[in-house]
Amino acid sequence: MSTTGGPRPDRVVVVLGTGTEVGKTWVGARLLEALRGAGVAVAARKPGQSADPDDTSPSDADVLAGGSGEDPLAVCPAHRRYEVAMAPPMAAAALGRPVPSVAELAGELTWPEGVAVGLVETAGGLLSPAADDGTAVDLARAVGCDLAVLVADAGLGTLNSVRLCLAALAGETWPTVVVLNRFDPDDALHRANRDWLAARDGVDLVTDVPALVARLR
């Protein structure tokens, strides 16, 4: 059950990752763009983000805001942005700032009225610390996840990482869709990974954002 207050989206989609740098933000932003293009009211939230201060690329909140059409500060508030390349609660501690709890992060999430799909992107991998007292999975539970999107790389090592993550999610009540990001249909390994996960493990799996949109709808 969600600990957030105020209006709630019709559906809360939480974007999780098998690790860092697997493309969670890219997938989330493209999903938001596609839904908006289809006339679906969307909003995005990034409960915490951290990055090297010398990194001049757009932040995760900036990218998500580009997809949802919101102010980046509505996506991730200023006090949850940390200028250290560590997991957000570790970054907060390193900077001498208060380290939030899962309940505090979830309680800070506010949504506009009339949102059909609210997207929450976590930081790092599935079991990375999201707060002082919990992981990305704990945060997904606290925000009232209706559907989890687990983003994984399509290449070498993904069978192990996807299986480990799905095992960690086995006790949760929400369905999970796996996205094999950067999937190349001409790559034999990518095809083999897709087929193995789908046929042998029965994984609900897509390889592109249009298929993910169809799955959500």
From the list 80, 71, 85, 127, the residue with the least C-alpha distance to 104 is: 80
- Report, as residue numbers or ranges, the catalytic residues: 46
For residue 33, report the phi and psi dihedrals to the nearest 5 degrees: -60, -45
In order, the DSSP letters of the chain are -----S---SEEEEEEESSTTSSHHHHHHHHHHHHHHTT--EEEE-S-EE--TT--SPPHHHHHHHHHTS-HHHHS-GGGEESSSS-HHHHHHHTTPPPPPHHHHHHH----TT-SEEEEE-SSSTTSEEETTEEHHHHHHHTT-SEEEEEEESSTTHHHHHHHHHHHTTT-SS-EEEEEET--TT-HHHHHHHHIIIIIT---EESSHHHHHHHH-
Euclidean distance between CA atoms 1 and 35, whole angstroms: 25
